[in-house]
Structure 1
Amino acid sequence: MRLLILGTGGMANAHAKNFSAIDGVEVVGGVDVDPSRVEAFNAMHNIPHGFGSLDAALNWGEFDAIANVTPDSVHHPTTMAALAAGKHVFCEKPLATDYARAIEMTEAAEAAGVVAMVNLTYRNVAQLQKARELVQAGELGKVKHFEASYLQSWLVSKAWGDWRTESQWLWRLSKKHGSNGTLGDIGIHILDFAVYGAGSDIDKVFCRLETFNKAEGDRIGEYDLDANDSFAMTAQLENGALGVVHATRWATGHFNELRLRVYGERGSVEVQHRHDWSKLFTCLGDDAETGKWTETEVPSVPTNYERFFEAVQMGRTLEPSFRHATSLQRVLDLSMLTDRDRREHEVYL
């Protein structure tokens, strides 16, 4: 598979590193509107061709697939152009900034008959995969309740950099720069973490959003700091389970931590994932009577990068697909409506 990487910002380095490590994948081009950035990126990863626009790369055309690592608001137009050219697409999350654009991308991909997948990176967590396996095998019995959280601290700590002075962070806090805040940025991750691990999609949702004061006049330079910083959501799954999902960038002491607990009639599982380790705990069978939890070791699983390559080789889209990411985007859109309306919404009427 000959791959083009579209966008050469920070996350593009992960794409270049992971795809280059796969036997059978050749990263042949990089694209960025900034000539100096694409030149430096290509030099770092030994990529032979550089382009200043997607149009120029498509005119060249000597590639099979695109890894779309552009800003969120650019996913839609660039992906639609790639699909029209018959290219397979591996898109960063979120698929689009709203459901209308996401479903258009999904339907275009399905009509084109190409592989179209989304990099929901926490599918790479082996402990989450095992938790889902236990749920689907009935080891927990009927799932009744779940709780999921995504905690970050970069608005508190400078460990990741200083958002007050670095635009690579500031755009994430500004609606006019394409950000849907914590809900749009990491909300899609924790929603996928929750529904995948609990083995069921969301049926009803209610969400509250909060944007805290962060600077004088809620503005730094050209950036209005008006995107949400935290959200708290109640959700009911299609399998009837009730649960809570919350996320924030103000979680002091938590650099990047996801947690999921799923409770069933006969047992429970808990997944903890940080930037430096992942753990799975189970309370199953007779242990449910004593409250004994056991840490479970699990083998590694294929990454999304490897699964995308596998999908292209097979000519068939695997999960996480555009359609799945679109269903999550619908939940995100409805979450914003519930915050406005102060009432619960059903995902599918």
Structure 2
Amino acid sequence: MRLLILGTGKMANRHATSFAAIPGVHLAGAVDTDAEKLQSFCDKHGIERRFATVESALAWGEFDAVANVTPDAAHYATSMACIAAGKHVLCEKPLATNHAHAVEMADAADRAGVVAMVNLSYRDVAELHAAREMVLAGRIGTVKHLEASYLQSWLVSSAWGDWRTGPQWLWRLSKGHGSNGTLGDIGIHILDFVAFGSASQISDVSCRLKTFNKIEGDQIGDYVLDANDSFVMTAGFDNGALGVIHATRWATGHLNELRLRIYGDKGGIEVQHGHQASHLRVCLDGDAETATWRDVAAAPVATNYERFVNAVRLNIPTEPGFRHAADLQRLLDLASLAEMPQPRGKQKKMTRLNAYRMS
């Protein structure tokens, strides 16, 4: 499979390294408007063909698939161009910056008959797959309640770099630079973590968003620090279950950690995933009487990169696909309404969005 890397930022290095490790995959070319960054990236990964625009790469056309690692706001236009040219696409999350564009992308991919996958990277967590299999097998009975969180600490820790001086962090804090804050950046990950792990579709949401003061004036250079930092969401599920989902960048002591707790009428499952390790615990059968939790090992699973390559080779759909990502984007759009300015005298930064349903 001949692959084009579209965008050569930090995440593109993971794409290039992961794809190059798969037998039979050739990194055919790369695209970036920043010539210096493009040259450095291609030299590092041994990529010969280099393009300043997606149009010039498509005019060349000697590739089968695209890894779209452009900024969020560019996903729609660049993916649509690649799909129109008959190229398979693995797009970074979120699929688009709004639900309407995400649906257009899913529809276009269906019409073109190409493999269209979104890199919701926590699908690579083996423990999440094991949890889903237990839910589907009925091990915990009917799912009743869920609790999930995505915790990061980079606003209170320099472990990943100083957000005050690094453009790779500052843009995530600024709506004017294409950010939808914590909700758009990691919200889509935790929503997918919940829906996939619990084998349950989210049907409705209520959400509160908060943007905290960080520095005097809340602006650094061209970056206005106005994107949300934390959200707390309640969710209803199509099976009648209720859940609480929250995320923040202020979680001191948690570099990058996802948690999911699933409770049914016969047992419970807990998944924890962090930088160093993942854990799966269950309370099943007779252990429910004594509240005894036991660790469970999970079998390895294929990565998104491996699943994408296999799907392209077989020309079959694979998940997580564009349609699923569009469904998640609708939830994010609805939750984003909570940040819209309210009439004078009303609270502007924290509002409640009641029971917007997926249809």
TM-score by length of 2: 0.96
Q: CA deviation at 1:47?
A: 1.2
| Aligned length, in residue pairs | 349
Q: Give the structure 2 partner of residue 333 of structure 1.
A: 333
* Structure 2 counterpart of 1:240, one-letter code: G
Matches within 5 A, 1:46-195: 46-195=46-195
Q: CA deviation at 1:337?
A: 2.3
Q: Give the structure 2 partner of residue 39 of structure 1.
A: 39
Partners of 2:143 and 2:8 in 1: how far apart? Answer: 42
Q: CA deviation at 1:342?
A: 2.6
Q: Give the structure 2 partner of residue 290 of structure 1.
A: 290
Matches within 5 A, 1:139-288: 139-288=139-288
Per-residue CA deviations over 1:62-97 (Å, capped at 9, x if unaligned) read 000000000000000000110111100000000001
Q: CA deviation at 1:46?
A: 1.1
* Structure 1 counterpart of 2:115, one-letter code: V
Partners of 1:262 and 1:34 in 2: how far apart? Answer: 45
Question: Quick check: 1:347 aligned with 2:357?
Answer: yes
SS at match of 1:27: strand
SS at match of 1:138: coil
Q: Give the structure 1 partner of residue 343 of structure 2.
A: none
* Structure 2 counterpart of 1:32, one-letter code: D
Cα contact 2:208–2:353 (8 A) shared by 1:
no
Per-residue CA deviations over 1:167-223 (Å, capped at 9, x if unaligned) read 111000000110000000000000000011111111110000000001111111000
Partners of 1:249 and 1:102 in 2: how far apart? Answer: 26
Partners of 2:357 and 2:124 in 1: how far apart? Answer: 27
* Structure 2 counterpart of 1:346, one-letter code: Y
Per-residue CA deviations over 1:125-161 (Å, capped at 9, x if unaligned) read 0000000000011001000000000000000000000
In structure 2, the CA distance between the partners of 1:327 and 1:138, relative to structure 1 (3 Å rule), is same
Q: CA deviation at 1:339?
A: 5.5
In structure 2, the CA distance between the partners of 1:91 and 1:272, relative to structure 1 (3 Å rule), is same
Q: CA deviation at 1:338?
A: 4.6
Q: CA deviation at 1:319?
A: 0.4
Cα contact 1:338–1:344 (8 A) shared by 2:
no
Q: CA deviation at 1:334?
A: 0.8
* Structure 1 counterpart of 2:172, one-letter code: R
Aligned residues: CA RMSD = 0.9
Cα contact 2:335–2:353 (8 A) shared by 1:
no
SS at match of 1:95: coil
Cα contact 2:7–2:30 (8 A) shared by 1:
yes
Partners of 1:339 and 1:245 in 2: how far apart? Answer: 17
Partners of 1:223 and 1:320 in 2: how far apart? Answer: 33
Q: Give the structure 1 partner of residue 8 of structure 2.
A: 8
Mark the runs of 5 or more structure 1 residues left unpaired by the alignment.
Answer: none
Partners of 1:233 and 1:90 in 2: how far apart? Answer: 28
Q: Give the structure 2 partner of residue 27 of structure 1.
A: 27
Mark the runs of 5 or more structure 2 residues left unpaired by the alignment.
Answer: 341-350
Partners of 2:150 and 2:352 in 1: how far apart? Answer: 23
Partners of 1:105 and 1:276 in 2: how far apart? Answer: 35
Q: Tell me the percent identity.
A: 63
Partners of 1:136 and 1:61 in 2: how far apart? Answer: 43
Cα contact 1:68–1:90 (8 A) shared by 2:
yes
Partners of 2:58 and 2:355 in 1: how far apart? Answer: 41
Partners of 1:146 and 1:338 in 2: how far apart? Answer: 22
Cα contact 1:66–1:82 (8 A) shared by 2:
yes
SS at match of 1:100: helix
* Structure 1 counterpart of 2:133, one-letter code: E
Cα contact 1:334–1:347 (8 A) shared by 2:
no
* Structure 2 counterpart of 1:111, one-letter code: R
